[in-house]
């Protein structure tokens, strides 16, 4: 008895045409209006936003790649500059060394020249002094010889003439 009452009163399980028609109409209108005024615009907005986000991310990635490229380029330029600098430094050093060695050689040559000249001078001086000495020695010898001869030939005119001729011979030499 109770179970039959159960069934008799359990009205929600009986699909009533009125409620079905109303549900049909309400849901159809709901579907149409929501699609037109809510779901499609929202979906469109979300899609646009997702696209925007994707674009922004892509752009950021691209910018990062670009920066990385620029950085690599900078690095390269820096390295090149460094190489250039070391090259220049090396060249400068070489030039310096060359200049120094050249200067040294020049100085050496100059010094040699000076020494040569000095030697020449000394030689000249020596020759001059030798000649001088020769003259003086000659004079001394003459004087001495004169004196000796004077002493010996104070009475001999022949001697005097002979000596004089001898002296002239020497001069000619």
Partner 1 sequence: MRSFLLSIFAFIGLSFTLAAQEHHSEEGHHEEMQASHHESEGHDGCSCHHEEEYNPSGVAFHHIADANAFHIFGDLYIPLPCILYAPEEGLSVFMSSAFEFGHHGDGKKAVDGYVLHEGVVMRVADSSFPKEAVAIECFTSREAEKDGKAVEIYQVVYEGQCYDLDKKSSFDGGILGGGISSYYDFSVTKNVFTMLLTVILLFFVFTGVAKAYRTRAGQAPKGMQSVMEPVFLFIRDEVAIPFLGHKYERYLPFLMSVFFFILGLNLIGQIPFFPGSGNVTGNLAVTSVLAIFTFLVTNLSGNKHYWEHTLWMPGVPAWIKIILTPVEIMGLFIKPITLMLRLFANITAGHIVIIIFVSLIFIFGDAGESVPGSVAGGVIAVPLTMFMMAIELLVAFIQAFVFCILSASYISAAIEDAHH
Residue 141 is encoded by which pair of tokens? Answer: 């010898």
Q: Segment near partner 1 (CB under 8 A), from 48-56, 71-79, 127-135, 146-154?
A: 48-56
Cβ nearer to partner 1, comparing 7 with 172: 7
Task: Tell me: does residue 125 bind partner 1 (CB under 8 A).
Answer: no
CA distances from 161 to 11, 15, 154, 155 (A): 192, 188, 12, 12
Determine if 57 is a binding residue for partner 1 (CB under 8 A).
no
Q: 32 or 140: whose CB is closer to partner 1?
A: 32
Q: How far is the CB of 68 from partner 1 (least distance, A)?
A: 29
Sorted by sequence, the CB contacts under 8 Å of residue 49 that are 6+ apart come out as none
Nearer to partner 1 (CB atom), residue 38 or residue 63: 38
**Nearest residue (CB) to partner 1, 14 versus 151:** 14
Q: Quick check: 56 binds partner 1 (CB under 8 A)? A: no
Among 7, 151, 171, 172, the residue binding partner 1 under the rule CB under 8 A is 7
Q: Does 40 bind partner 1 (CB under 8 A)?
A: yes
Binding footprint of partner 1, residue count (CB under 8 A): 43
Q: How far is CA 1 from CA 7, 14, 25, in A?
A: 10, 20, 39
Asked whether position 60 contacts partner 1 by CB under 8 A, the answer is: no
- Cα-based angle 31, 35, 38 (whole degrees, multiple of 5): 120
Cα dihedral 125, 131, 135, 136 in deg (nearest 10): 40
Instruction: Please tell me the distance from the alpha carbon of residue 167 to that of residue 141, in angstroms, as a whole number.
Output: 11
Hey, what are 13's tokens?
């399980």
| Residue numbers at the binding site for partner 1 (CB under 8 A) | 1-2, 4-24, 26-27, 29-31, 33-35, 37-43, 45-46, 48-49, 52
């Amino acid at each position: 008895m109770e179970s039959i009452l159960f069934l008799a009163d359990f009205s929600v399980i009986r699909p009533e045409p009125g409620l079905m028609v109303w549900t049909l109409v309400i849901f159809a209108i709901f579907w149409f209006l929501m699609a037109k005024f809510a779901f499609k615009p929202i979906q469109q907005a979300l899609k646009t936003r997702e696209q925007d986000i994707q674009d922004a991310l892509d752009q950021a990635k691209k910018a990062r790649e670009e920066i990385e490229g620029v950085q690599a380029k900078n690095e390269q330029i820096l390295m090149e500059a460094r190489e250039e600098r070391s090259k220049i430094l090396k060249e400068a050093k070489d030039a310096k060394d060359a200049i120094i060695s050249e200067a040294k050689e020049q100085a050496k040559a100059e010094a040699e020249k000076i020494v040569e000249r000095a030697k020449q001078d000394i030689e000249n001086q020596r020759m001059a002094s030798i000649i001088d000495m020769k003259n003086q020695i000659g004079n001394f010898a003459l004087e001495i010889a004169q004196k000796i001869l004077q002493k010996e030939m104070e009475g001999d005119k022949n001697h005097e003439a002979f000596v004089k001729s001898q002296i002239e011979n020497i001069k000619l030499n």
